[in-house]
Structures are given as structure tokens and as C-alpha cells.
Amino acid sequence: GESGEESGQDENVTPQHSPPWSGLKGRREGGRGGDSGSNYDSDEYDDGSCPRPSLDETRTDDSDGSGSSSPDASPARAPPRPLHRNTGRQASRPKAGPHGAPQQPGPRPAAKGHNSSRSRIVYDATRPRYKQWRGRHRFYFGGRIMMGPNVKQFFLTLGLTVLTWSSFFVFAYPSLPRFFPSVFAASGPNWPALALCAFELLGMTLYLVVTATSDPGIIPRSSPSHLVDSMPLEMKERMNYCPTCHIVKPARTKHCRQTDCCIRRFDHHCPWTGNSVGELNYRDFFAFISFTFLSSLTNLLGHLNALIADVTSVDVPRSGLTEVACPVLIAWNALVAGLVGALLAFHCYLVARGQTTNEWLRGERSGMPKRTKPTCAENWWNLCCEVR
């Protein structure tokens, strides 16, 4: 009975002085831990000038300041903590320093999974640099040779080249006409034709390997920047920012999805070489398709001549293998000559205009003003004689 009377007395205790936040609308009764008290919870003041605060628990202090609670003393409430201007929640109280002064807040840590502005691309000194490459290229011979991700396509192209020329030397070379019979012996090797075929074969193979293993103009990656990451998407697109390489791409630069690298003056990704074509290896690619067109044209004419010579010959008996293989090889070389010839003509058009394949597909110009835009002759000079 006594405990009930005491609890009833505690619930009916009223503060002697009204608190400064007594203007809040609405009150609710309750407490924590079984203690009685009243907490104020409202959306705003009577005049609507403040959002809803969350008040601390009611506490009572002794009149002498010793900190011991007394049931007869009036409950003194702690003032509400200020609200955060962005979240609307109560700000945490600053921790006390060594001499009682409030501790100064330190640098705000970066969010989990977010790169801060001071983060850097760190390489392990104990491992070779090529093993820490962040692109999709493949390295061979201790990092001395770099190739694209599609290595199988490169070897497929190399195998087709060897197979095509092997069939040429088997079926077409023996029946080739002899040039300069007065200079070269009629019974020996056909040196002019052999030199021409060797020149085309070596040129085609050499530029295929160089295009597949050379640097197309890769721009190294940079460290991520918290300042740039916090920018809106429209501003990043306007400043031509690459979120993968964390760089501001120069003019005519594009991020290649196959190699996962930004390439200067990106033209296209060639599936036959397995590598991207850019500023540094475009000349090699142009020479490769030129030699491919000449080689296919030479093979086409050689097999056609061999078929005609086998059909029209009277002294030499006909070969059934030649009559079967030559039409297939003629069709194959005609197809290659037509497709590669069209590709070569298209790139001649792009070189004359100073444009890349990527810009032509996007409907963009060369990105240079008319005053400084080079002429057709200057574009061809830059392709053939410019030092890269």
C-alpha cells in the first residue's frame, strides 16, 4: 500500500517552473526503466517555428548540486540537443578533451566501399608490373609482348594466311608465266614471281603481328577522385570523364569495352588481329589490310591462271586435284579480295577526311575546327610519314 501511495505521489508531482519548451503541442505520459515522468513529443511549436525535438529523460538534481535525486525536488530537464541541418536528427554531443574542453572533430572517414580523394593506385613492388595490369590484355615472354584479349582470333587469321599461301605455292606457282626470260634461266626457279609472292607474304604476316602486339595508344589509369565522383552525371558527361579509368578523356579518345582501356584516337576493335586500333597502330593496320588485298588478288589471279592452263593444256595431262581445288580457292580469294578491298577503300575515304571509324559511326566530325583542319594531302602525309 505504501509503495502505491509513493508512486502515486511521484506521478502527481508538478514542476515549480514551466520549462521553456512548454509551448509544444501535445504531451504524452511515460518513462523509461519504470520511472515516471513526462516527455514532450510534437511536430512544432504553437507558432510553427521549430520541428519536433526529442527530449532527454527527466532527471532531478539536489539543491546543493551534489547530483543525488530527491522526490521533493522539482524535476529539471536537460535542454534539447540541436537538430542536424541535413538529417533532422539530434546531433551527438562532443566528447570532452584532456582538459575538459570539447574535443575537435577529426577528419571524416570515407564511406565503406567508397574511394577517398587521397586513395592511390598502389603497385606491389615484389610482383612484375605487367601482372598487375588492370586491363584485359594478355602478356607473354615476361611482359615483353602485349596482345589483346582475343588471342585465338589472331592465331586463326595467321593460320588462314599460311594455309592460303601454301595452297598458292602448291597449285598456282608452277604454272605462273616467267617474266624476263632473257635475264632469268628458263629451267630454274621463277625468281620474279617468287620475289613478288615472298614480298606480299612477309608484308602481310609482319604487319599482322605488329598490329596485334603493338600499343594502340593506351592512356594509363589514374587514381579515383572523391571530388569527381561526387559530381552529377551530366557534368561528368560534359567534361568527358571516364569512370573506369578515372581520367578526363582527351579529344577523340574512347574507352574500349573489349580491352577495358581508354585509347587515344580510337578507331575500332579489329576481331581479326584481336587488338584495338588507335593512334599508334593505325598505320600498321592500314598496311596490313593493303597487303591482304594485294595477296588475295595475287592468289586469285594465280589460281585462275592455273585452272585455265590445266584445262587448255594439250601436252601435259590434266590433274583432277587441280580442277577440284582451284575453283574453291578462286571463290575463297575472290571473297577475301572483295571484302578487304571494300574495307581498304573505306579507310582510304576516312584518311582523306581525317576521320576515324568510331566518329563515322557516331556521325561526328574529326573534332577539329575548319581553320586548323588538315587537307587531304596533309592527312595522307601524316599517315605515311608522321613520326609516332
Q: Which residues are catalytic?
A: 270
Q: How far is CA 283 from the centre of its chain?
A: 24
How far is residue 98 CA from its own chain's centroid? 50
What is the dihedral sign for C-alpha 379, 383, 386, 388? Answer: positive
Phi, psi (degrees; rounded to nearest 5) at 47: -90, 0
As a residue count, the chain comes to 388
297 vs 71: CA distance, rounded Å: 109
